[in-house]
Every structure is written in structure tokens, then in C-alpha cells.
Copies of this chain bind each other. A is one copy, B any other.
Amino acid sequence: MKAALVAGSPGGVRAVAQRRRTTRPGGDAVVEDVASLVDELRAASEHPVEAVGLVVPGIVDEATGTGVYSANLGWDDYPFRTEIAAATGLPAAFGHDVRAGGLAELRQGNARDLTSAVIMPIGTGIAAALVLDGRVSSAPGEIGHVDVGHGDPCGCGQTGCVEARASSAAIARRYVQRTNRQVNGAADVARLLTEGDADAAAVWREAVDALAKGILLIAALLGPQAVVLGGGLALAGPKLTDPLGGRLDELIAFHRRPELRLAALGDEAGCLGAALLAIDMLEDR
């Protein structure tokens, strides 16, 4: 759980104090922890606290302020917005973590010159915020769970999902399965790749291929100016974007080839986006 006291305007915000906690599952536990983090952050700064923004993963209904479903965090139609407002006594905004991170990249990160973009954090899973006509869409953007034809099973019950080969978790897992050697995440596989390890190269190439095919679908349906890669895997930088751009060039026919960019805000994006949702809500009153 990442929390920050954030100051700024709808055009841009910055964190002035931060806290982290291990997330306890369940909606009630999250609300309780948010309320105590608000107290802590309030005590830590001279800034007055005017509103709370909370963003969560899973299926989110922004219109009703509901956490519809999260397998990992264990809730089902939990009314976060009203519960957070009741627990903190503050106006509360509620949204989806990936879409909020995309909003932050759009307002103050590496998508701020764009009117159409797909902002795609790649970590344990892969999802995307879809920026269309200058706005972050409420669409689910589940690019991690589209079938790109490799046939491997995915935890979601489908086969061929982008996430099953290209998430940081999948890259590390597939390297271990292939070699029986332990690695400390996808960053290790990226390092081994640079050192000329043939297994790392194969796993990396298959990840890049799955990602390129996912981006190709995005290019056909949405035609974004750019795909902005974030999350842990984007720390690989050109080791990711160079082969990915090359594979995309090979595959693309007549669709507009989106520019590939790296996200600017790192793992702060969600926090900043949550604050932007709260500030937008205050402005709209």
C-alpha cells in the first residue's frame, strides 16, 4: 500500500510525504488502513488535507465508486468511495490503479504531449490505461489477457495471453523452468541477456514477440500515437524497447505504428494519479 500526501493542481502534483504498508486483504481492512495512513500523513506535514484519493487493482466501477472484484485482495462489490469518506470525514475519490497511473502520465509524465496513447505498466501482470481523444477511458484495457497465439495456458483460464509470456513474473518463471537456475526477477533475466546467456535471450525474445503482437492489436483497434511502457519491466529501457520496436516493424502492415516510450513516473504514478482524481473532484464541485 503506497500512500502520499500530495500537493498541486489538476495540471500537476508532487508528493510531500510518503508511507508504505503491506496491504491487508479485504475492503474493511483497506479502509481502516487508509484512515490511519491519512492521520499519519496529516501529522507529518503542515499541509492541510482536503480530500482522499484511493485507487485499487481489479475490476473497478468508477461511476459508482465500487471495487467490483479483486481475486488477490478479496473483495466483491465493496463501496470504497462512501466507506473511505465515512472513515476519514473527507471527500473521497476512487478509481483504478492502472487508469489513475495513466492519468498521471498524461497530465505530468511521458504522455503529456499526446491525445491518444496506451499506457502499459508491466509487472506481475500487464494492463493498460487507454487515452483516447485526450481523456483516460474507463475501458478495462486488459491487454495482458488477449490471445496472441502462443498457446501457453494463463492463470486466467485462457491460452495465449500476452501476460503468460511477457509479464515480469512470467519472464522470471519461464527462465527458471527452462534452466532450473534461480533468478531474482525479470531484471536478472535482462542482465543475463546482456551477458550473452542463450536461455535468457530465448525467454526475452518470446516475451518481446507476445508484447509486439499485443501492441499490434492496440494499433489496429485504437491507433494510438504512442505506447508508454511502465512498471518494473520498463526499467530494462532500450533492452526492451529496441527489440520490441524491431518486432513491431516486422509485423505491422497498414496500421499506424505507435511510437514506443518509457513511462516517467515509475511506481509513484498510481499515488499521483489518485491525488489527481481527488483534485479533479474538488475542482468539479
Contacts and interface: CB of A to CB of B under 8 A. Distances in A.
A221 B140 contact: yes
Contacts of A43: none
Per assembly, the copies of the chain total 2
A119 B130 CA distance: 19
A168 interface: no
A188 to B, nearest CB: 30
Interface stretch (A16-24, A191-199, A211-219): A211-219
Contact of A146 (B130, B156, B158, B220): B220
A68 to B, nearest CB: 10
Interface string A214-235: 0011101111000000000000
A133 B140 contact: no
Interface of A: 116, 128, 130, 132-133, 135, 137-143, 145-149, 156-158, 160, 213, 216-218, 220-223, 251, 253-256
Given A130-B132, A143-B221, 13 more contacts: A116-B138, A137-B137, A139-B221, A139-B222, A140-B222, A142-B223, A145-B253, A146-B220, A146-B221, A149-B149, A158-B251, A158-B253, A221-B221
